[in-house]
Amino acid sequence: MVVELIKLSKTSDQPLYLQLYNQLHEMIKNRQIPADYKLPPIRKLAKKLGINNVTVVNAYKLLESDGLVYSKIGSGTYVTDLENKELFEGNSVLEESSDFEEVKLINQGQIEIGENTINFASATPTPELFPVDDFKNALNEVLDRDKGFAFGYQESQGFYPLRESIATYLSVGTSKIEPEDIQIISGAQQGIDIIAKALLNYGDCLVVESPTYTGAIAAFRSRGAHIIEVPIEQDGIKLDILEDKIKKFRPKFIYCMPNFQNPTGYCYSYAKRKELLKLATKYEVLIVEDDYLTELDYGERELLPLKLLDTNDRVIYIKSFSKIFMPGLRLAFLSVPQELYEGVLAAKHISDISTPGLIQRAFDLYLRKGIWQKQISYMREVYKERYYKMLNAVRQYFPQDIEFIPPEGGLTFWFKLPEGILAQDLYEDCLEKDVLFIPGSVFYPTPRSSQHFRLSFAAIYPEYIEAGIRIITKSINKLLKGKKKNRTKSYTPLL
């Protein structure tokens, strides 16, 4: 069927493999070739068209890099199911996801900040909050104790005493985590990347909450994986949609943030945590739990990580220390189901051999001496103050029709603008007034405009919070006015 439709010209300026690629590309996009259709084997197609095998190989490779076909080893090349066309289109090219230069930078994890910028964009602590003296003491103690050993290569899984102290810190009641389960990593971002390397092959599917953390989107994209979005609501991921997508796409894993989800700040209900684990067991799918912030809760609810509720070894737990400790130290850990030990260890070794031993040793002392707990309490107090400053300012100044749900903790608020106003427009207007935040569009794997935006209070001194909110309010009101004017114009009768 396909062969009859292809017309190649040997006299054309365009190379044959490009002609073949372009025609197949057209047919797949127009659904002339259905999903999961097996393309003709390379040799057979080459023979029928009177061209070299290599020509067909090159055309198929290009289609594969577009995500339009996928290959099964030993079986052949198949057409991707494009029912979720836009879903897959957004997965290949990071730069395409926004027209705005600055938003592109945010997409790449970079934000340009001027001297006087009020920065609601970064969710990173300000430097004066870092426990510099405590850490200096811990470093000195390690150097006096371990001398040059602190500077050797550390074992790839991590300094054993640190794994022991993390296991003790993490085990609650009967939920025990063993030092053998723990893999030290250089930041949670590396953890996400390692999991992607260990579990994902080109064309594999995985599920993310929608919206989700941009760093995870980038890591999964870099593996050429198909990112399937499932909406998140106030009490967690939408389970009915999740189950449908699991059945349809058979994802390798579900990446989620049950506590203070980035960017929404939502927390899963206890019932949803249990249901999610049930689904993971039923369909034998793994869960990647990114716990970057559980300690920063300002409410009453106990927020147990999924890992501690997981009785069937389904959860890969990634724990960052960046938001409470010091992000520049690049320290975090993974706890993985036994079946993944070897793959994860190999991926870590390939990435950077090991996380610096000196830092691991100092952090071990830090945990054993209980300074970590002290730091958590201190950070919680500091951030709680900023949180309430923000909440009060928003309640006082933002127009009523801006929707938001106050989070129970964390560092960010997630807002929805009224119909007809895009966060990108607000972003541009605020940028001119030196106020920076993140428009919602960057938190989705597929390019789209968004009415949502995220404001973080992590990197902003309390005295600037109100000033910043007032500036954003002015911009919102200006856009609302413009909207009303446009509406009047478009509905004026032509009489």
Ligand X SMILES: Cc1ncc(COP(=O)(O)O)c(C=O)c1O
Task: Cite the DSSP H helix spans in 238-337.
Answer: 239-249, 270-282
Neighbour tally for 411: CB within 10 Å: 26
What are the residues whose beta carbons fall under 8 Å from the beta carbon of 143, sequence distance 6 or more?
150, 358
Beta strand pairing call for 205-210 and 253-256: parallel
Q: Check residue 409 and report its DSSP letter.
A: B
CB of 401 to ligand X, least distance (A): 29
Q: For residue 351, give the H/E element and its range.
A: helix 341-352
CB of 182 to ligand X, least distance (A): 15
CB of 257 to ligand X, least distance (A): 5
CB of 122 to ligand X, least distance (A): 9
CB of 56 to ligand X, least distance (A): 42
Query: Of 456 and 475, which CB lies nearer to ligand X in the complex structure?
Result: 456
* Token pair in block for residue 403: 């929707």
Report d(CA 310, CA 318) in Å as an integer.
14
Query: Of 187 and 357, which CB lies nearer to ligand X in the complex structure?
Result: 187
Query: Of 213 and 427, which CB lies nearer to ligand X in the complex structure?
Result: 213
Report d(CA 382, CA 323) in Å as an integer.
13
- What is the distance in angstroms between the CA of the first residue and the CA of the last residue of the chain? 58
| Three-class HEC string of 131-157 | CHHHHHHHHHHHHHHHHHHHHCCCCCC
Q: Which residues pair with residue 38 across a beta bridge?
A: 78
Query: Of 63 and 326, which CB lies nearer to ligand X in the complex structure?
Result: 326
Query: Of 77 and 190, which CB lies nearer to ligand X in the complex structure?
Result: 190
Query: Of 263 and 468, which CB lies nearer to ligand X in the complex structure?
Result: 263
Which residue is at the shortest CB distance from ligand X? 187
CB of 372 to ligand X, least distance (A): 15
Query: Of 322 and 360, which CB lies nearer to ligand X in the complex structure?
Result: 322
Query: Of 88 and 383, which CB lies nearer to ligand X in the complex structure?
Result: 383
Query: Of 27 and 199, which CB lies nearer to ligand X in the complex structure?
Result: 199
CB of 215 to ligand X, least distance (A): 6
List the one residue out of 119, 289, 70 whose CA is nearest residue 191. 289
Total length of the chain: 495
Q: What is the CA radius of gyration of the chain?
A: 26
Residues of the chain by 3-state class (helix, strand, coil), percent to 5: 50, 15, 35
CB of 225 to ligand X, least distance (A): 17
What are the residues whose beta carbons fall under 8 Å from the beta carbon of 430, sequence distance 6 or more?
436, 437, 471, 472, 475
Question: For binding to ligand X (CB under 6 A), which residues are involved?
Answer: 123, 187-189, 213, 215, 257, 262, 290, 292, 320, 322, 327, 332
Cα four-point dihedral sign 418, 422, 428, 434 = positive
CB of 328 to ligand X, least distance (A): 9
